[in-house]
Chain A
Amino acid sequence: DQQVKQNSPSLSVQEGRISILNCDYTNSMFDYFLWYKKYPAEGPTFLISISSIKDKNEDGRFTVFLNKSAKHLSLHIVPSQPGDSAVYFCAASAQETSGSRLTFGEGTQLTVNP
Chain B
Amino acid sequence: GAGVSQTPSNKVTEKGKYVELRCDPISGHTALYWYRQSLGQGPEFLIYFQGTGAADDSGLPNDRFFAVRPEGSVSTLKIQRTERGDSAVYLCASSSLVSTGELFFGEGSRLTVL
Contact = CB atoms under 8 A, between A and B. Distances in A.
A43 B4 CA distance: 10
A98 B56 contact: yes
Contact of A100 (B35, B42, B101, B107): B101
A49 B102 CA distance: 8
B43 A104 contact: yes
A113 interface: no
Contact of A99 (B50, B91, B108): B50
Contacts of B43: 44, 89, 102, 104
B45 A93 contact: no
Given A32-B100, A99-B33, A100-B95, A106 B107 contact: no
A96 to B, nearest CB: 12
Given A41-B107, A101-B56, A106 B42 contact: yes
Given A100-B95, A101-B33, A45 B105 contact: yes
A43 B95 contact: no
A104 B104 CA distance: 14
Contact of B103 (A46, A105, A107): A46
A85 interface: no
Interface residues of B, number: 27
Interface magnitude class on chain A: 20 to 34
B62 interface: no
Contacts of B114: none
Interface in B69-111: 91, 93, 95, 99-108
Interface of B: 4, 31, 33, 35, 40-45, 48, 50, 55-56, 91, 93, 95, 99-108
23 contacts: A9-B40, A32-B101, A43-B4, A43-B106, A43-B108, A44-B43, A46-B103, A46-B104, A97-B56, A99-B31, A99-B50, A100-B99, A100-B103, A101-B48, A101-B56, A102-B43, A102-B103, A104-B35, A104-B43, A105-B42, A106-B40, A106-B41, A107-B42
